[in-house]
Structure 1
Amino acid sequence: MPTEQLSLDREASWRVIEAQRRAIADLLAGLTPEEWAGNSLCAGWRIRDVAAHLALTPRVPSIREMVVASLRARGDYNRMIHQLTTDYAEHPVTQLVSDIRDNAAARTLPKLTNYRNILFDTMVHGQDIAIPLGRTLDIPPLAAAVAAQRAASIGWPVFDRHRLDGIRLCASDIDWSYGTGREVRGPSKALLLFATGRTALRHELTGDGLALVSKG
């Protein structure tokens, strides 16, 4: 059975989310137009699109917006998120930054999610922005491990539920492991990205479990 050794309560999670949002806004505020247009780690999204997604998160779409978006996406959840995000990305970048910063402390949740999902989503998308730009966005190891644990347990419609079957994630910077099988070991931030399908920090990971997952 998977081993779940760590947790963050609601209040602690929201504090991490707020800090990450503020750090992301500060990073974005100094970008050039070329950097805004660059590719993020999130497949198919520019830096600008990831910023729009983070700006949208505290907003609760109206029923009408959700119905229209769902119809446009033909019921495909990931396609709906993509369309909502890329549409919002057309706003001026200064607005995207102010949206993220002004709502950093907001605890509004989109429907069908919870603060645990927002925790890993915010941290991962922060890395989606920072890493391609050659910047460093720190994540507390405890929060990264808790987020990796959450991400590893999530399946459809976000991830393939069986993508980490036969793999045991083991953090090298905190006492945490998750799953059973062949080991993948490394810093909690690298494990978080690994659990969400990112390969950017794969070079920081070791273990025979890496061979079970395609490099993509």
Structure 2
Amino acid sequence: MRAFDVKICGLSTPETMAAALERGASHVGFVHFAKSPRHLDIAPMAVLVRQVAGRAETVVVTVDPDDALIERFAREVKPDWLQLHGRETPERVRDIKARTGLKVMKALPVATAADLAAVAPYLGVADRILLDSKRPKGSDLPGGNGVSFDWTLLSAAEAGLDPQMGYMLSGGIDADNVADALAIADPSGIDVSSGVESAPGIKDVGRMHRFFDALDRLGEPARKARIS
């Protein structure tokens, strides 16, 4: 039985990171993308990653990084994962894995059923797929926009995913809709960012507790049973 993962992304302070770890987040994410309100420079990101101290897996989220940047992540931050949220091809994902030795999660945007065709080329290349909403018109952010896509589309995606890899579901998930998301889709984990914020980039400990409380009400055995 594979454990159900919960990733809290876009963390930037020791206090909010501590709350995520206390409530049992399996992954904590830190964003390095200048246009994002959640952007962190490498030095403070490295400090937070060290403070995790093995209590969760650490994820650096970045967009179309060049070789110099990914090598800095590997050398200075030392995360468990790189999450690629740009236009990285399967070949680029393979190259990044080889250069860094890190696990790679590839984010793919979804708006229609046709978008799910993008999943197949990354299977066996990326260590994990993250399915997120396409950016709204006018947004410069590839993720963290606080909008959801039609989760009923994922019955088609699930049929084509490697059951040992699974996928993470992202995009507008919060305490009010996480039960609906998990009733419709069957991810191996969920990724939450804006859903636990009081304003863009400002993580809210109260909202984080409310989110984990909503998960607790679903019951851990029930959540694990969906992905056994």
TM-score scaled to structure 1, two decimals? Answer: 0.32
Higher relative contact order (CA 8 A, sep 6+): 1
TM-score scaled to structure 2, two decimals? Answer: 0.31
Tell me which protein shows more helix as a share of its residues.
1
Highest CA radius of gyration, 1 or 2? Answer: 1
